[in-house]
Chain A
Amino acid sequence: MQEFLQMGGYAGYVWSAYAITAVVLIATALWPGIRRRRLHAALRKRWQWERSE
Chain B
Amino acid sequence: MWSFLHRLSSPPTFYRWSGVITPIFAVIAAALLLVGTVWGLAFTPTDYQQGDSFRIIYVHVPAAMLSLSVYMAMAFSAAIFLIWRIKLADVFAASFAPVGAAFTLLALVTGSIWGRPTWGTWWEWDARLTSELILLFLYLGVMALRSSLPERNQAARAAALLAIVGVVNVPIIHFSVEWWNSLHQGSTVSKLGRPAIDPSMATPLYLMIFGFMFFWLANAFSRARVEIVDREQNKRWVREALGDKAEMQRRAGEK
Q: Do chains A and B touch in the complex (CB under 8 A)?
A: yes
Chain A residues whose CB sits within 8 angstroms of the CB of B26 once the complex forms: 29
Cα A43 to Cα B242 in complex, Å, equals 9
Determine whether the beta carbon of B99 is less than 8 Å from that of A13. no
* Given the contacts A21-B106, A47-B246, A13 and B222 also touching, CB distance less than 8 Å: no
Q: Does B146 have its Cβ within 8 Å of any Cβ on chain A? A: no
Q: Classify the secondary structure of B's interface with A.
A: helix
A33 to chain B: closest residue by CB: B222
Taking a contact as CB atoms closer than 8 A, the residue among A13, A24, A35, A43 that contacts B102 in the complex is A24
Q: Which of B172-180, B183-191, B226-234 contacts A (4 or more CB under 8 A)?
A: B226-234
Determine whether the beta carbon of A13 is less than 8 Å from that of B116. yes
Q: Does B244 have its Cβ within 8 Å of any Cβ on chain A? A: yes
Chain A residues whose CB sits within 8 angstroms of the CB of B117 once the complex forms: 10, 13
Looking at the assembled complex, report how far the CB atom of A12 sits from the nearest CB atom of chain B, in whole angstroms.
9
Taking a contact as CB atoms closer than 8 A, the residue among B46, B242, B246 that contacts A8 in the complex is B46
Determine whether the beta carbon of A24 is less than 8 Å from that of B105. yes
Question: What size tier do the contact residues of chain A reach?
Answer: 20 to 34
Chain B residues whose CB sits within 8 angstroms of the CB of A18 once the complex forms: 37, 41, 59
Cα A17 to Cα B247 in complex, Å, equals 50
B62 to chain A: closest residue by CB: A21
B47 to chain A: closest residue by CB: A8
Q: Which of B3-11, B50-58, B83-91, B149-157 contacts A (4 or more CB under 8 A)?
A: B50-58
Determine whether the beta carbon of B219 is less than 8 Å from that of A13. no
Q: Does B204 have its Cβ within 8 Å of any Cβ on chain A? A: no
* Binary contact readout B86-127 vs A (1 if CB under 8 angstroms, 0 otherwise): 000000000000110010011001100110110000000000
Determine whether the beta carbon of B106 is less than 8 Å from that of A16. no
Determine whether the beta carbon of B225 is less than 8 Å from that of A13. no
Cα A4 to Cα B46 in complex, Å, equals 11
Binding site for A on B (CB under 8 A): 26, 33, 37, 41-42, 46, 51-53, 55-56, 59-60, 63, 98-99, 102, 105-106, 109-110, 113-114, 116-117, 215, 219, 222-223, 225-226, 229-230, 233, 238-239, 242, 244, 246-247
Binding site for B on A (CB under 8 A): 4, 7-10, 13-14, 16-18, 20-21, 24-25, 27-29, 31-33, 35-36, 39-40, 43-44, 47, 51
